Amino acid sequence: MVRIWKPGIIALIVSLFIANFPYTVDAAASVSAKSAILMEQKTGRVLYEKDAHKISRIASITKIMTAILAIESGKMDEYVKVSNKATKAEGSSIYLKAGEKIKLKDLVYGLMLRSGNDAAVAIAEYVGGSVDGFAFLMNLKAREIGMENTHFSNPHGLDDHENHYSTAYDMALLTRYAMMNKEFKKISSTKIHRAPNPSEQWDRVWKNKNRLLTKYKYCTGGKTGYTKRAKRTLVTTAAKGDMKLIAVTLNGPDDWNDHISMYEDGFKEFDMAEVLSKGKIENIKGPYKKGMLFLKNSIVYPATTEEMKLFKVEYKIAKSFNRSNEGSREPEIVGKAIVYFDGKQIKQTPVYYQGGIKGKKEKKEKSLRDYFSQIFLFFMGVKTNG
């Protein structure tokens, strides 16, 4: 359906995060985890969920937030002096020594691959000024991302605070955000990392605890977690063809198999449907030259075969446009295309008009006409400059 807009009322904001609607398909017969979710990364559509909004302790998957804040600080190549407090962090460790200097980048690798709690404290103190200061930054970022049922009290996920929790859904949102960062994506997928060891003659060698990187060929990253109170927690990512998925399980005794099961069913049941293709838009009425309306980006959305009929595209186009730009090289936004899925808006993108642009052949012909016209006027005794 095409709806003609009056000029001056076009509002074109393409949202980074797309609203999720409860059109999930049972992508896994059963999972062992108390809470679980399977989310498509590009659109944020939830493909499967089990108590995904239940507030729970999250253990070391907390470190996804710690890592992305360290990366976004812009200090990854700076050296961090390790405090005595950092070396005394309980639980898993990369065995830092008080007073040693280590690159922030190596701390993040140690954090993500070996789940070093000492690395988490060292990062927090360097980036946030203190553990409490860093927790403040963590909660600011959580609000920014839309993690409405999350609160961070520390950078590692240890059970030293009661007010430290999240949900499977919120952790999927965080992972989706983090995976848009190239450096995080690289670190998360790294199987082995070497870091200098100033007090020894050999390098530190860290192997990723995320067994799914070797156990499941489509896995592209993630973070493990465990405490006595949270039990096993796991976040992983996977990609097959043009589909990228995020899986989260909280309190999952059989989490490796839970994730593989959700991924396999997700890849089997869903395809990335190209609802709109970038390029020219045909058959739209209005004061526009035929073939001059176009989209700069395509729109894709995960759907099952049965759901393909649920898509609908609506164009809202201005009745008029700025004719002073006619012939300009810059395309003008004249409306938007809106995609609906089962009656709910899921995405919109600007519609552009490229009017009056002369092709190379047309420009060349015009130049030749002007040249011969000037010669004719010269011989007729008429000055070409008027």
63 catalytically annotated: yes
Catalytic residue among 35, 92, 115, 153: 115
Residue 116 has pLDDT above 80, yes or no: yes
Is 190 in the same domain as 46? yes
Query: Looking at residue 143, which CATH number applies to its domain?
Result: 3.40.710.10
- Residue 154 resides in a domain: yes
| Residue whose C-alpha is closest to residue 65's, from 116, 11, 8, 141 | 141
Segment 305-323 shows an average pLDDT of: 85
Lowest mean pLDDT segment, chosen from 13-17, 19-23, 111-115, 182-186 = 13-17
Is 58 in the same domain as 135? yes
Q: Which amino acid is at 150?
A: T
Is 121 in the same domain as 251? yes
| pLDDT tens figures, 332-375 | 888 999 999 999 999 999 999 876 444 444 445 545 555 555 54
Look at residue 23 and give its three-state secondary structure: coil
Is 298 in the same domain as 264? no
Is 100 in the same domain as 205? yes
Give the residue carrying structure tokens 């992508």. 27
Catalytic residue among 60, 153, 166, 188: 60
* DSSP secondary structure string for all residues of 170-238: HHHHHHHHHTTSHHHHHHHH-SEEEE--TTSSS-EEEE-S-THHHHSTTEEEEEEEEETTTEEEEEEEE
Query: Looking at residue 301, which CATH number applies to its domain?
Result: 2.30.140.30
Catalytic residue among 50, 63, 223, 347: 63
60 catalytically annotated: yes
Beta-carbon contacts of 167 under 8 Å, excluding residues fewer than 6 positions away, are: 35, 52, 53, 54, 55, 56, 149, 150, 250
290 catalytically annotated: no
Predicted local confidence at residue 51, as pLDDT: 97
Predicted local confidence at residue 102, as pLDDT: 97
Look at residue 334 and give its three-state secondary structure: strand
Is 55 in the same domain as 125? yes
Predicted local confidence at residue 1, as pLDDT: 35
- Residue 76 resides in a domain: yes
Predicted local confidence at residue 11, as pLDDT: 36
Is 284 in the same domain as 186? no
pLDDT confidence bin for 327, thresholds 50/70/90: low
pLDDT, averaged across the chain: 86
Number of folded domains that form the chain: 2
Is 264 in the same domain as 280? no
Is 196 in the same domain as 177? yes
pLDDT confidence bin for 199, thresholds 50/70/90: confident
- Residue 46 resides in a domain: yes
pLDDT confidence bin for 256, thresholds 50/70/90: very high
Q: pTM value?
A: 0.82
Q: What is the 8-class DSSP label of residue 162?
A: S
Expressed as residue numbers, the domain containing 71 is: 35-269
Predicted local confidence at residue 214, as pLDDT: 96
Predicted local confidence at residue 303, as pLDDT: 97
Residue 352: beta bridge partners?
A: 294, 333
| pLDDT tens figures, 149-173 | 999 999 999 999 999 999 999 999 9
Segment 97-112 shows an average pLDDT of: 97
Secondary structure element (H or E) that encloses residue 107, with its range? helix 104-114
Beta-carbon contacts of 322 under 8 Å, excluding residues fewer than 6 positions away, are: 332
Q: How far apart are the first and last CA of the chain?
A: 52
- Residue 210 resides in a domain: yes
Segment 296-305 shows an average pLDDT of: 94
- Residue 283 resides in a domain: yes
Beta-carbon contacts of 240 under 8 Å, excluding residues fewer than 6 positions away, are: 218, 263, 267
d(CA 76, CA 190): 17
Segment 181-210 shows an average pLDDT of: 94
